[in-house]
Amino acid sequence: MNFGLCPCFGLLIRSNFKSYPQLSRHFSAIRVLGIESTCDDTCAAVVTSDKRILSDVRFSGLKLHVARGGILPTTARANHATAINGVVKEALGKADCTINEIDFVAVSYKPGLILSLGIGVDYARRLCLKYNKPLIAIHHMEAHALTAHLSHSDIDFPFLTLLISGGHTMLVLVKGVDEFYLLSESNICPVGEFLDKIARQLKIRNLGPPYDSVSGGRALEILAEKGKPIHYSNSWVGGKSNCFNFNINNLKGFWHNIIKNAKINNPNLPVDSPLPDVADIAAGIQRSIVYHIGSRIQRIVKYLEATNMINIVNSENLSKLRLDDLPCKINYLDPKPVKLKLVISGGVGCNKYIVAKLKDYCDKMDTFYDETKIEVVAPSPRHLCTDNGVMIAWNGILKLIHKCDNNCVNNILLREADIMSLEPVHEAQLGEDVRQLIDTSWIVIKPLQKESKVVPKNEVK
């Protein structure tokens, strides 16, 4: 293929970006078109390597999905197929450029709904072949994790990212553009799915506008602003548990029983009517999510304090660590304070209450050292937490810089055969799963208590 339309590309693959001022000037002019279609939103955006968002276009089928009680893959696919060409054209128009002025096309190809992904991937392939553009294949969750780099220039590696959405709930250690380590995950029910399902159980949309035209999670957030959290045991949601993985499924069961009992106590309530104290229940649900997630973050942070896991875990050592059965060896090696940023992203990251309270939790939580600091940040503007084309384009730019720095272009598709071979992938792990190296059974946590943070002699040696 002829890449004469991208004169800087040869420099990118032959040179080190940071070492050549002339390359920096070329690179600052690079424009990347990002295409996103992993679920129900059809998105496209044009972003430059000097962090300018030239356009950000989204077509949402939310109202249709809400009316039908959830996302139907076949309906989502049909919506993508109808909308994608217009969305891309609008993104180019708002960016005041033509496709010929685009240097790279980036597209999300995993993970997601396979029918939805197929529309975006197929469109991106045909676009690149028609206009002689290189294609960058993007991992959807990696893009979420790195979006905050666009608005927060002070985020350095390593950092923690909490990805909370309708499809995922995970805590990840991010050490580089292509280096992710899974520390904690909800294997059954993600937070976003829980919120949508519990909102349906509470019949919140039957309250009418504005609850009947937004997602279940958003409706619950709006309603919770009018309520006060009901009383329940904070210890249940994680304070006394030895587990460091999220257990959203049990949280769902806990609230299912509360709602079930509340309905029994209101026998004259019409079948389609919400409970009288539904706003208080909604507020309580959000509060329990904060305590549950916060307790897991707290447990992981104390583990990172007590070990040198942040420095030990890398791509070179990982296989050796697994072979050596490191849970017993990684403990107590180099206890020290931890200072990390915690980036919250994913659709639930738009929930102002959850983000604000997690910031408060991380600021006040009990840790081993006074010097330990976990600073919570979220992408700005807030809608960049949800699926969008900006994060896909920006991740493509980060990969270009990373590949150029490492003299490698393996993930950038140049040849026609490589572009045509790109296929959507339904399920994909984010980075390396290192949970088998973690043992937090000995860690005692005190949720939201500002206790003395001196390292206990019997816990860290």
Domains, the chain, ordered by start: 9-151+383-421 (3.30.420.40), 159-378+431-437 (3.30.420.40)
Q: What pLDDT score was predicted for residue 396?
A: 96
Q: Strand order in 31-36's β-sheet?
A: 53-60, 41-48, 31-36, 104-110, 135-139, 412-413
Pairing of strands 169-176, 179-185: antiparallel
Per-residue pLDDT of the chain (461 residues; tens, 9 = 90+): 333 334 455 444 444 333 333 334 444 579 999 999 999 999 999 999 999 999 999 998 777 767 666 788 899 999 999 999 999 999 999 999 999 999 999 999 999 999 999 999 999 999 999 999 999 999 999 999 999 989 898 999 999 999 999 889 999 999 999 999 999 999 789 999 999 999 999 999 999 999 998 999 999 999 999 998 876 544 455 444 578 899 999 889 989 999 999 999 999 999 899 999 999 999 999 999 999 999 999 999 998 998 878 887 776 666 555 545 444 445 555 678 999 999 999 999 999 999 999 999 999 998 989 999 999 999 888 889 999 999 999 999 999 988 765 544 558 899 999 999 999 999 999 999 988 888 777 787 775 643 333 333 333 33
In the block, tokens 């059954």 appear at: 188
Task: Report the pLDDT value the prediction gives residue 320, as an integer from 0 to 100.
Answer: 59
In the chain, count H helices and then E strands.
16, 12
* pLDDT the model gives residue 321: 56
Chain centroid to CA 398: 17
Q: What are phi and psi of 196, to 5 degrees?
A: -65, -40
- pTM confidence score: 0.87
Q: How many CB atoms lie within 10 A of CB 25?
A: 10
pLDDT score, position 436: 85
Separation CA 376–CA 69 (nearest Å): 33
Per-residue pLDDT at 411: 82
Which pLDDT belongs to residue 406?
54
Sole residue written with tokens 């079930």: 260
> Residue 237 and residue 239: Cα distance in Å, rounded?
6
- What's the confidence (pLDDT) of residue 2? 35
Note the pLDDT of residue 409: 53
Nearest to 212 by CA among 352, 73, 62: 62
Asked if residue 177 lies in contact with residue 403, where contact means CB atoms within 8 angstroms, the answer is no
